[in-house]
Chain A
Amino acid sequence: MADTSETAAAPRTHVSLQVNGTTREVDIEPRRTLLSVLRDDLSLTGAKPGCEMGNCGACTVLLDGEAVYSCLTLAVECTGREITTIEGLSASGELDPVQQAFIAHDALQCGFCTPGQILAMKALFATNPHPDDETIERAMSGNICRCGAYPKILAAARALAGTQAAQQ
């Protein structure tokens, strides 16, 4: 994100963001992406910069509950929206069921893509508590895992969907 580093001369806009249930105030240039503001201004480094062109899914966050790429979202356009990052899933101190399923099914290796994977799955289960395999695969198709943990990610989702036993 070096090419979006701010200069003193560039005009800034005051933006109030709802992040993980808390109001956060930032003064930012309009060209700053939500990903860079989360990471560099708010120290929420769960969302990862991968391709930074909407190809990999590592930057996935929830906007009003829907999974989006924060690398292709301008932070100034997120006022009035509810932003959820991976840090927000365990704000109460307890891991989210999706996070627990990832641990139980060993659904990660290096972990770089995992915050995005978990949030994409979170968005799926918020609208469909019992997805079939095809629905799971489609919902997760915007998140690349270069370690190839896909079968275990699918197993985690099946466990949450309650379809694990039937399909094993």
Chain B
Amino acid sequence: MNTFEHVTVTDGNEAVKLLSERGGAAGETKIIAGGTDLLTLMNASLIAPQRLVNLKAARALRYLRFAEDGALHIGALATLADLERDAGVARRLPILVESVRDAATPQLRAMATVAGNLLQRPRCWYFRGAPHCWLKGGAECFARDGENKYHAIFGASSCVAVHPSDLAPALLALDAELLINGPSGVRTLPLAAFFHEPTNDARIEHTLAPDEVITEIRVPGQPEGANGAYLKMMDRQAWAFALASAAAQLSVEDGVIQQARIVLGGVATVPWRATQAEDALTGQQLTPELARTAAEAALAGAAPLAHNGYKVPLARELVRRAILRAGSVPHP
């Protein structure tokens, strides 16, 4: 690991000030909170920041609270374990608890923050290893025609790594927003606009600027009768990233689906919203047959690589089951 200067701050504004100094050069100064992804990136020399700004001392940013309008406000420093253990979250937003309880391990969930979870970099072995791949500024994505069993089946990016977060699909299915602190103040950004497929000019999975800090994740109040589910398939039962996952959040009134959100994990460079599946569900009576139709719609545009064709039926079945689980319809 490279040497660096280490500065501790006690609030988000101080952090933004330090990030903006020295021209706000990308990568020069980085925030450290849980550190569980940042330090692995530094250990592998994928990044070498000259200064780390320790945000963990900003204790006021660690909270979970429901506002009067039913919205859940998640402080950026709340840990995955905080979400996993919160009785109110379990009762009102079970999809969030389901999404974090199989993420990583108890130790990592105790360390990792919610905001950091959204910012983690992909686990592609070419990206994490020595090859100077496209995502790292190189000319070529080596996974595209290489070893790609864990890679993307959707997306237009030159990169085919998949986004590793379990929490992100669930938060997207809940229409979450981010509060972002930057040099010109606080802005609100829908999570859907935060994620962004890496492009030639921006080889990164999100739109957060180098001099900005996420301070809060806000989940809007859900209508009466709303329920959600998150299902994840791993190649072992613990400590594995999703081969594929499915988040489903449904609002049902008198048996009719008023609103549906279906988001897939482990299938693209960003959490992948399946709007065709949502359209198939909206306004309909939820039946096992409808869930099957919607799951087929969710995977209709999939374009698997040489070694990951298995992800298509896997993700399809996860979507089907997540829809039925969210709608409390018994299923095999």
Chain A residues proximal to chain B, CB less than 8 Å: 3-4, 10-11, 13, 29-31, 33, 52-55, 57, 60, 66-69, 72-74, 76-77, 120, 123, 138-139, 141-143
Contacts and interface: CB of A to CB of B under 8 A. Distances in A.
A74 B32 contact: yes
Contacts of A143: 105
A33 B35 CA distance: 11
Nearest 4 pairs of A and B residues by beta carbon:
A142-B105, A30-B6, A141-B238, A142-B107
A141 B32 contact: no
A13 B105 CA distance: 31
A141 B105 contact: yes
B35 A72 contact: yes
| Residue in A29, A67, A77 whose Cβ sees the most chain B Cβ within 10 Å | A77
B199 interface: no
Contacts of B56: 77
A67 B107 CA distance: 5
Interface string B12-52: 00000000000000000000100110011011000000001
B6 A13 contact: yes
Contact of A30 (B5, B40, B105, B108): B5
B184 interface: no
Nearest to B35: A72
Contact of A67 (B2, B39, B101, B110): B110
A123 B81 CA distance: 13
A30 B107 contact: no
A78 to B, nearest CB: 10
A30 B52 contact: yes
B54 interface: yes
A31 B3 contact: yes
Given A30-B52, A138-B106, A139-B106, A73 B1 contact: no
| Residue in A29, A52, A55, A69 whose Cβ sees the most chain B Cβ within 10 Å | A69
Contacts of B310: none
Interface string B303-329: 000000000000000000000000000
Given A74-B6, A76-B6, A57 B1 contact: no
Contacts of A69: 36, 107-108, 111
Given A53-B40, A54-B40, A66 B1 contact: no
Interface in B230-288: 237-239
Given A30-B6, A30-B52, A142-B107, A4 B1 contact: yes
A67 B109 CA distance: 10
A10 B3 contact: yes
B3 A74 contact: no
A3 B1 contact: yes
B239 A67 contact: no
Contact of B39 (A11, A57, A72, A141): A72
B106 to A, nearest CB: 5
Given A30-B4, A142-B106, 14 more contacts: A3-B1, A10-B3, A29-B3, A31-B4, A33-B39, A53-B40, A57-B107, A68-B107, A68-B110, A68-B111, A69-B108, A72-B111, A76-B6, A142-B107
Contact of A73 (B40, B42, B101, B111): B111
13 contacts: A10-B3, A11-B5, A30-B5, A57-B105, A60-B107, A68-B110, A69-B36, A72-B35, A76-B6, A77-B56, A120-B106, A139-B106, A142-B106
Contacts of B35: 72-74, 77
B150 to A, nearest CB: 15
A79 to B, nearest CB: 9
Nearest to A80: B57
A74 B39 contact: yes
A137 B2 CA distance: 37
B36 A67 contact: no
A115 to B, nearest CB: 13
A55 B239 contact: yes
Contacts of B2: 31
Contacts of B105: 57, 141-143
